[in-house]
């Protein structure tokens, strides 16, 4: 496993620079996914939230319930400071172990699915997302 502390610090630098492309990336994401026009009470779960910049952006849009999951403790610690929600230090392939069924209106997988490498992990991840989503909830994924 790579040194996630170092990766976490690099991500901090990249996103903290607040450059135009970074801001545009988040704006496109919320617009294209439809998240930006959902009610602010929408409960959101960001799988593989890293240092929490997407959570911070979602919070800045007025959403009050934005939780995250990341397997890296340094990433999760940084993410916790960017949301009033909960950040689980855990495996996204084991969601039913720590998240109750029917908990979220939206589950996001941004830039994380490629970290799962076996069919078994993919199956567990997608069924875990289904488990965490309320009936009629929305799953948003991007590479
Ligand atoms: C490439 S970053 C993506 C960050 C962010 N979601 C984005 O779109 O920019 C992937 C993140 O997923 C986390 N991750 C990788 N495999 C994971 C797993 N099985 N469970 C939880 N988090 C995982 C990594 O620690 C890392 O922070």
Q: What is the pLDDT of residues 11-44, one digit of tens each?
A: 877 777 667 777 788 888 888 889 999 999 999 9
Query: Distance (Å, rounded) from C-alpha 106 to C-alpha 61?
Result: 15
| Averaged pLDDT for residues 77-105 | 97
CA–centroid distance, 143 to ligand 1, in Å, is: 11
Decide: 115 in ligand 1 pocket, CB within 6 A. yes
Predicted confidence band at 2 (pLDDT cuts at 50, 70, 90)?
low
Reply yes or no on whether the pLDDT at 1 is more than 60.
no
Domains of the chain: 4-142 (3.40.50.150)
Q: What is the pLDDT of residues 104-137, one digit of tens each?
A: 999 999 999 999 999 999 999 999 999 999 999 9
CB half-sphere exposure, 31, CA atoms < 13 A: 6
Decide: 65 in ligand 1 pocket, CB within 6 A. no
Q: What is the pLDDT of residues 62-85, one digit of tens each?
A: 999 999 999 999 999 999 999 999
Residue 105, classed as helix, strand or coil, is strand
Taking the CA of residue 8 as reference, the ligand 1 atom at the shortest distance is 27
Predicted confidence band at 7 (pLDDT cuts at 50, 70, 90)?
confident
pLDDT at position 55 is 96
CA 112 to chain centre: 9
Taking the CA of residue 4 as reference, the ligand 1 atom at the shortest distance is 25
pLDDT at position 8 is 81
- Residue of 67, 115, 121 with the most ligand 1 atoms within 8 Å of its CB, for mutation: 115
How distant, in Å, are the alpha carbons of 67, 85, 133 from that of 89? Answer: 11, 13, 19
């Amino acid at each position: 496993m790579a040194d996630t502390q170092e990766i976490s610090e690099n991500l901090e630098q990249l996103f903290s620079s607040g450059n135009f492309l970074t801001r545009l990336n988040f704006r496109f994401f919320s617009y294209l996914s439809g998240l930006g026009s959902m009610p602010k009470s929408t409960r959101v779960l960001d799988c593989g939230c890293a240092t929490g910049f997407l959570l911070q952006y979602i919070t800045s849009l007025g959403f009050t319930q934005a939780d995250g999951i990341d397997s890296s403790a340094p990433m999760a610690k940084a993410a916790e400071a960017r949301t009033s929600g909960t950040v689980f230090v855990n495996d996204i392939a084991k969601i039913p172990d720590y998240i109750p069924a029917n908990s979220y209106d939206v589950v996001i997988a941004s830039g994380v699915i490629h970290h799962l490498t076996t069919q078994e992990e993919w199956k567990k991840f997608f069924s875990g997302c289904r488990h965490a989503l309320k009936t009629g909830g929305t799953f948003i994924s991007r590479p």
